[in-house]
Amino acid sequence: MNGLFLLAQGEGGPEQVAQAPQSLLQSIEGYAQAFTDPEKAATFAGNVLAAIAIYIVGKIVVRILTGLLEKLMSRAKVDATLSTFLSNIAHYVLITFVILMALESLGVNTTSLAAILGAAGLAVGLALQSSLSNFASGVMIILFKPFRVGDFIEAAGVSGTVEEISIFSTLMKTGDNKQIIVPNGSIYGGNIINYSAKPTRRIDMVVGCGYGDDLRAVKAFLTILVENDERILKEPVPVVAVSELADSSVNFVVRPWVNSADYWAVLWDLNERVKLGFDERGFNIPYPQRDIHIHESAS
């Protein structure tokens, strides 16, 4: 057991790992000699019974502790996926300590075993560095819930509907029904835009008319267009206002609020109705243009 602390402090480094096979071989030789000496055989039998007792009692204690951990996480409303994963990790770590204690009662040099386990754990940790980063990010996503299953988000350079959140990755579906598996480290390491987080959204439109058009008539048309759509919310009050006297047009901002589920349908309908309404009323939708004046000089 002390080997873990020695390894962590730098005192159980490569030398101790290299000596581990020799220490284990010496322990095996000692067990072989026990069968030729009655006193050693009795001592060995007692150690075996003690090791079995330690393992059985330890296994019961581990089961109780992991059960308490699961209850605590359940009361704290920790996600079921994360709760199961953490309880499994705790179970295997505690069982490892119980096995080391049982082996120590047999006279096995557990310092050498701990050194081997520590070195192996370090090697595995370095090899799985990116996976551990994804795991840590997955824990943060599950705990703090920046998005949930069913939300439409933009993260890690892609956008789509979240279908599944696991410990290491998040499964998303794009609008054209493509499946994307995104590592959690890429998601949590950047900006996350959750379009479904709020129940309402504001539509931002810019509508331009010509300088020769009746400004009041254009504004009145846009206002009526917004007021007549039942999907547009009365509160907050929609905004229709002149925002810019641009190079080729007078620009209006049209900013109605809708339920998040109606966002795209209302936006597309408004674009269509603006174009049809402008055509019916003779309003112009300007495009960038430049006047060229040609002067002839008398020769």
Q: Which amino acid is at 254?
A: V
Which helix H or strand E contains 287, and what residues bound it? none
218 confidence band (pLDDT: 50, 70, 90): very high
Which helix H or strand E contains 107, and what residues bound it? none
- Placement of tokens 């907050």 in the chain: 236
- Can you list the domains of the chain with their CATH numbers? 2-127 (1.10.287.1260), 146-194 (2.30.30.60), 200-281 (3.30.70.100)
Q: What is the pLDDT of residue 150?
A: 92
Those residues with Cβ within 8 angstroms of residue 255's Cβ, 6 or more apart along the chain or in another chain: 202, 203, 204, 205, 238, 239, 240
Going from the C-alpha of 15 to that of each of 5, 121, 131, 181, 195, the distances in angstroms are 15, 17, 30, 43, 56
Q: What is the pLDDT of residue 163?
A: 93
Do 74 and 83 contact (CB within 8 A), yes or no? Answer: yes
**Rounded mean pLDDT, 34-59:** 77
Do 270 and 199 contact (CB within 8 A), yes or no? Answer: no
Q: What is the pLDDT of residue 298?
A: 67
Q: What is the pLDDT of residue 86?
A: 77
Using only C-alpha atoms, what is the Rg of the chain? 36
- Placement of tokens 């039942």 in the chain: 230
Do 129 and 160 contact (CB within 8 A), yes or no? Answer: no
**Rounded mean pLDDT, 184-196:** 93
pLDDT tens track for 252-266: 999 999 999 999 999
0.75 exceeded by pTM: no
Read off the tokens for 39: 């006193």
Q: What is the pLDDT of residue 126?
A: 60
Q: What is the mean pLDDT of the chain?
A: 82
- Placement of tokens 């557990």 in the chain: 110
More confident residue, 45 or 19: 45
pLDDT tens track for 120-173: 666 666 655 677 888 889 888 888 889 998 999 999 999 999 998 888 899 999
pLDDT tens track for 86-132: 787 788 888 888 888 888 877 777 776 666 667 666 666 665 567 78
- Does residue 190 register a pLDDT over 60? yes
**Rounded mean pLDDT, 24-37:** 56
Q: Is the dihedral of CA 174, 176, 180, 186 positive or negative?
A: negative
155: left (phi over 0), alpha (psi -120 to 50) or beta: beta
Q: What's the CA angle centered on 137, arms 136 and 142, to 5 degrees?
A: 100
* DSSP 8-state symbol, 95: H
